[in-house]
Amino acid sequence: MPQEYDPSIRLNQYGQVDADYYVQKAHDARSEAMAEMLQAVKAWIKTKVTFERIPTQQTLFGH
């Protein structure tokens, strides 16, 4: 997620810093980062795990 710079501070209806807005914004950023991380982990696992059958000893040695 590209960093955005906004020099203004959002205020609520009472003139205080709108903490709920910034908490939601942080939550959204974390969710996006987690989704990207999980996609990367999924891709990495796909490169490491295979579901090919391993030949049995009977197939290899004919006993």
Which comes out higher in pLDDT, residue 27 or 53? 27
User: Total domain count for the chain?
Assistant: 1
pLDDT tens track for 3-14: 777 678 999 999
How many angstroms separate the first and last alpha carbons of the chain? 59
Q: Which domain holds residue 20?
A: 1-46
Let me know if residue 40 belongs to a domain.
yes
Is the pLDDT higher at 33 or at 9? 33
Domain-embedded: residue 55? no
Average pLDDT over residues 59-63: 72
Query: What's residue 26's pLDDT?
Result: 97
Give the percent of the chain with pLDDT over 70.
Answer: 94
Side-chain half-sphere exposure of 46, counting CA atoms within 13 A: 6
51 within some domain: no
Q: What predicted TM-score, i.e. pTM, was given to this entire model?
A: 0.60
Residue 7 lies in a domain: yes
pLDDT reading at 61 higher than 60: yes
Question: Would 13 be classed as within a structural domain?
Answer: yes
